[in-house]
């Protein structure tokens, strides 16, 4: 069973956004740094607290798993990430 995503920001919103931005650009795997970094730059400010909580939970996943989900090498076992993965994939198709 998948744990529910909570929408309680652990920090004031401005600090929460800064932390998520940093975590998106500094993953340790250059490929996921680029995908998640560009996504957060384009989308983070527009997200509500529930979306931010889901994104933060997504950032807790292993880089190799995230990359495999993005490249469709493996299916993501967490259905709450489906919309986020679709957005990430769509963003990568834009020039």
Considering the chain, what is the average pLDDT of its residues?
89
Give the residue with greater pLDDT, 94 vs 56: 56
- Using pLDDT thresholds of 50, 70 and 90, give the confidence band for residue 2: low
Task: Determine the average pLDDT of the residues in 71-95.
Answer: 89
CA-closest candidate to residue 63, choices 18, 29, 15, 23: 29
Structure letter (DSSP) for residue 35: H
Structure letter (DSSP) for residue 44: G
Q: Please, what are the domains in the chain?
A: 13-93 (1.10.150.250)
Task: Determine the average pLDDT of the residues in 6-17.
Answer: 77
Residue 87 confidence (pLDDT):
94
């Amino acid at each position: 069973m998948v744990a529910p995503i909570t929408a309680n920001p652990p920090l004031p919103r401005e600090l929460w956004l800064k932390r998520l931005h940093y975590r998106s650009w500094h993953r340790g795997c250059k490929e996921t740094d680029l995908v998640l970094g560009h996504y957060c730059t384009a989308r983070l400010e527009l997200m509500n607290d529930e979306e931010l909580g889901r994104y933060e939970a997504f950032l807790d996943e292993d880089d190799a798993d995230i990359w495999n989900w993005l490249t469709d090498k493996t299916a993501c076992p967490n259905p709450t990430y489906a919309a986020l993965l679709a957005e990430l994939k769509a963003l990568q198709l834009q020039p």
